[in-house]
Structure 1
Amino acid sequence: MRKRILALVMSGLIATGTVVSCADQEPTTGGTATAEASASPSVETSIPADRLDKVAPADARAITNPADPKATLVLFTDYQCPYCAQMDTVIQQAKKDYGDDVRILVRNYPLPKHQNAAPAARAVEAAAEQGALEQMAASVFEHQQDWKAANTEDLEDVFVSYAEDLGLDIEKFRADYASDAVRDRVARDLEDSQDLQLPGTPSLILDNQVLELDSVDYGALQEQLDAALNK
């Protein structure tokens, strides 16, 4: 019965043109929230040209970085958001299919309501300093249930264990994880996400267009990418 109710809810969301994601803010009215998901209306939003530096700054982390990209896709992600874990698989498929044509960047959007999202972002950023951004992101998402409710002071050792599994230089990883440079990068990404008024995570921006896509619907992203490449 529970699965049937969930299926009906999801079909209703699709029928009314809404996207389920981790919302930027907790609901402020009407009872107690039973989940962190929010159904927001699907709306197309264009980012003005003078604000594109907040979408894709020159030093943004790249998943793919072809020499002559035909389009740029930017993912704003929260490592504590379950829908971002799903979207990671979609992005990896896009990397495989469009690697020579589409530049794919990833920005941090650690929602303030997720107490461990910012430390997780710092762990991924610290790994990125050793060229292991995607590998650490995959580990963090895979073990999301293990660390998301952990005490914040215990997180460094948790993430260090993932770094050890990846064969990273642990002394450098610890130094980068605690560094002002990494903290500032995560903070800047969050500030840019909020300045752009992105509704939640995951958020995708293709060139200057904010996309409202389901986190497991690769076909919908593929359609948008194909259209961008053929324009």
Structure 2
Amino acid sequence: MLVFPRRSALGLMATLALTACGTGHKTAQSSKAASGNQASETSPSASPAGEQSVETGVRTDSGYHLNTVLEGAPTVTLYTDLQCPYCARTDPTYREVARRLAGTMNLTVRHFPLPMHANALPAAQAVQAAEKQGAYMAMSGKIFEHQTEWKGLTDVAQLTEIFTGYARELKLNTDRFIADLPDAGGLKLIQDEFEAGNEVGVHGTPSFVIDGVLVEKVDSSTSADHMVAAFTEQAGL
């Protein structure tokens, strides 16, 4: 079933203009290998050591929250592309850091689908459709885990089938999931988050921003310990 026609997806990509796709983030490229709240739930994810991440179910203007919201605390925002292999490597580390910094800093995530990745936008749409059923983190973890299965697909129906299969594995309502894939609100949210990243100087993924300021020397090869240290140091904690 053609849920999100590729032409319309690429049309939106064209509006998300970058000066140079995937550049301006040298640390990631040079690593050793290349609004409204929802109900809480616990879902399986790609967390380290087989741990489970708890869905906060909370989205604010800062993005989707990976730990409990702490009013007035500094906020780290990860700009991520679901087709980016560096982002797939970063994902479990960032989730672990969110767990460690719970009660100290807010850690959020925003979409930044690079035009160089043809399936990044449809993948983001799948995550947004899952978020409507309280499974943002579960779906994003599943999509990252199986990135090699879908990143090179050119058939929209096959891509839709794969993402729907992930929804089924996560025990989501697949009829609702399919209906929500082309949701205009989800597309606008993705576009708004991309534009917000552009405004603070994001040009590649993964990129980390603390209260509007890019974090330097943190990339997909950074350990959880060093990531915690970098975040707290820049936040003055």
TM-score bracket for this pair, using the shorter chain length: 0.7 to 0.9
1:130 aligned to which of 133, 140, 148:
133
TM-score by length of 2: 0.71
SS of 1:200's equivalent in the other structure is coil
The answer on whether the counterparts of 1:77 and 1:110 sit within 8 Å (CA) in structure 2 is: yes
State how far apart, in whole Å, the 2-side matches of 1:169 and 1:58 are: 27
SS of 1:61's equivalent in the other structure is strand
* 1:195/1:70 CA distance change after superposition, 3 Å: closer
Deviates more, 1:210-219 or 1:141-150: 210-219
State how far apart, in whole Å, the 2-side matches of 1:198 and 1:39 are: 17
Matched, 1:188 2:184: no
Tell me the CA shift for residue 137 of structure 1: 0.7
TM-score by length of 1: 0.72
State how far apart, in whole Å, the 2-side matches of 1:83 and 1:192 are: 21
What does 1:87-166 correspond to in 2, within 5 Å? 87-153=90-156, 154-166=158-170
State how far apart, in whole Å, the 2-side matches of 1:65 and 1:159 are: 28
5+ residue gaps, structure 2: 1-18, 32-58
What does 1:12-23 correspond to in 2, within 5 Å? none
| 2:52 matched residue in structure 1 | none
The answer on whether the counterparts of 2:215 and 2:234 sit within 8 Å (CA) in structure 1 is: no
State how far apart, in whole Å, the 2-side matches of 1:26 and 1:171 are: 35
Letter in 2 for 1:192: A
Q: Count how many residue pairs are aligned between Structure 1 and Structure 2.
A: 185
Superposition RMSD on alpha carbons, in Å? Answer: 2.4
1:199 aligned to which of 199, 203, 207:
203
| 2:225 matched residue in structure 1 | 219
Encode CA deviations 1:59-105: one digit per residue, 9 max, x unaligned: 72221232435221101000000000111011111122111222111
Encode CA deviations 1:146-187: one digit per residue, 9 max, x unaligned: 100012412111100000000111121112111111111112
Matched, 1:70 2:73: yes
SS of 2:113's equivalent in the other structure is coil
5+ residue gaps, structure 1: 1-22, 28-36, 41-55
* 1:168/1:96 CA distance change after superposition, 3 Å: same
State how far apart, in whole Å, the 2-side matches of 1:214 and 1:208 are: 17
| 1:25 matched residue in structure 2 | 21
The answer on whether the counterparts of 1:70 and 1:102 sit within 8 Å (CA) in structure 2 is: yes
